[in-house]
């Protein structure tokens, strides 16, 4: 079931081959577009072929909101923030009151925060719609290269008047997007492109200073093959056969190495979390981000 060529390919994939370097493009391959085009009509069926993405949505929204919230700094001198783990040290009443004070200040600050978001490879908008509904979102621009999928996204968004003026979908390659964004998201998409480094490079260019790039993809290892292809596509059939290709998976270390090499002084990896699907619990985070699916948040500094 694993072609020999794929097994031989278990070396760094994030840097383009000589052929793909010549293309230097963020475009999608015809095979991928054909594949996603077939899934467009059932994109919003929560029990259909994209069920696994629907189930993943809350986990990724939790991850995004947790990371953005952690970035809110309390500067008021009347708020005491101990420089140690106060919850283990103080009696619960005192630590609870410190926590309430900090959380209240963060909430107050968040009232004034509004993010412009670019969602790359937005598909039918499962993540983009929910991002647009968050109180701290000003506007979401979703881009994708599968026409039928963008149509499905537009049709679905029209059903919710609350999304009016907060969400736009475009059939547009990443390198043609103009402007900069506070948050750039790229979920479950990098493993479908031929030259992931080009997506990272252009995504980074679209990020404002202090902005955050959020991505999720799949480590290239045999555990991922077993869980996402063998079990996911062939045994449990929660993902359509042919969705994934082990040779296109990207190790979390490769993403980090790419940033170290190309953006050595302008990035901080804020967090990397492994995520796994448990048939009866949905998607859960864990601390082993080098195996299977993972989420990553990278902040632009300077």
Least distance in Å: CB of 29 to ligand SAM?
7
Of 139-147, 226-234, 260-268, 282-290, the window that binds ligand SAM (rule: CB under 6 A) is 139-147
**CA dihedral (264, 266, 268, 274) positive or negative:** negative
Determine whether the annotation assigns residue 76 to a binding site. Answer: no
Residue 176 known to bind ligand: no
189 is an interface residue for ligand SAM by CB under 6 A: yes
One of 67, 117, 149, 212 touching ligand SAM (CB under 6 A): 149
Could you tell me if 36 and 193 are in contact, meaning their C-beta atoms sit under 8 angstroms apart? no
Angle at 86 between CA 82 and CA 92, to 5 degrees: 130
Rounded CA gap, 213 and 29, in Å? 23
Q: How far is the CB of 36 from ligand SAM (least distance, A)?
A: 4
Tell whether residue 145 is a contact of ligand SAM (CB under 6 A). Answer: yes
Residue whose C-beta lies closest to ligand SAM: 123
Q: Please name which of 26, 31, 37 lies closest in space to residue 146, comparing C-alpha atoms.
A: 37
- How are beta strands 137-144 and 167-171 bridged, if at all? parallel
Which residues are within 8 A (CB) of 22 and not within 5 positions of it... i.e. 6 or more apart? none
Q: Assess contact for 207 and 198: CB atoms under 8 A.
A: no
Binding ligand SAM (rule: CB under 6 A), the pick from 14, 64, 67, 122 is: 122
Q: Which is nearer to ligand SAM, 109 or 154 (CB)?
A: 154
Note whether 52 binds ligand SAM by CB under 6 A.
no
Beta-bridged to residue 277, according to DSSP, are 283
Q: Which residue of 13, 14, 26, 152 would you call a contact of ligand SAM, by CB under 6 A? A: 26
* Residues found near ligand SAM in the complex (CB under 6 A): 26-28, 32, 36, 53, 120-123, 126-127, 144-146, 149, 174, 187-189, 192-193
């Amino acid at each position: 079931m694993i072609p020999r060529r794929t097994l031989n390919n278990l070396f760094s994939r994030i840097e383009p081959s000589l052929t793909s370097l010549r293309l230097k493009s963020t475009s999608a391959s015809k095979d991928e577009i054909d594949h996603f085009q077939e899934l467009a009509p059932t994109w919003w069926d929560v029990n259909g072929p994209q069920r696994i993405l629907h189930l993943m949505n809350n986990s990724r929204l939790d991850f995004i909101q947790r990371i953005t919230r952690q970035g809110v700094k309390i500067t008021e001198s009347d708020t005491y923030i101990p420089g140690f783990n106060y919850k283990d040290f103080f009696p619960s009443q005192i630590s609870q009151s410190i926590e309430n004070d900090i959380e209240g200040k963060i909430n107050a600050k968040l009232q004034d925060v509004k993010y412009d978001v670019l969602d790359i490879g937005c598909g039918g908008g499962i993540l983009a719609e929910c991002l647009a509904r968050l109180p701290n979102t000003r506007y979401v621009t979703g881009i994708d290269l599968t026409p039928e999928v963008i149509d499905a996204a537009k049709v679905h968004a029209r059903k919710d008047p609350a999304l009016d003026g907060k969400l736009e979908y475009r059939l547009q390659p990443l390198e043609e997007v103009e402007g900069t964004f506070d948050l750039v998201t790229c979920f479950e998409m990098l493993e479908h492109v031929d030259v992931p480094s080009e997506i990272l490079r252009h995504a980074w260019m679209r990020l404002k200073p202090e902005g955050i790039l959020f991505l999720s993809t799949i480590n290239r290892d045999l555990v991922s093959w077993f869980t996402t292809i063998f079990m996911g596509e062939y045994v449990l059939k929660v993902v359509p056969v042919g969705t994934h290709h082990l040779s296109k998976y990207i190790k979390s270390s490769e993403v980090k190495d790419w940033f170290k090499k190309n953006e050595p002084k302008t990035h901080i990896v804020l967090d990397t979390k492994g995520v796994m699907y448990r048939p009866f619990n949905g998607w859960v985070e864990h601390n082993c981000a080098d195996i299977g699916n993972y989420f990553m948040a990278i902040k632009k500094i300077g």
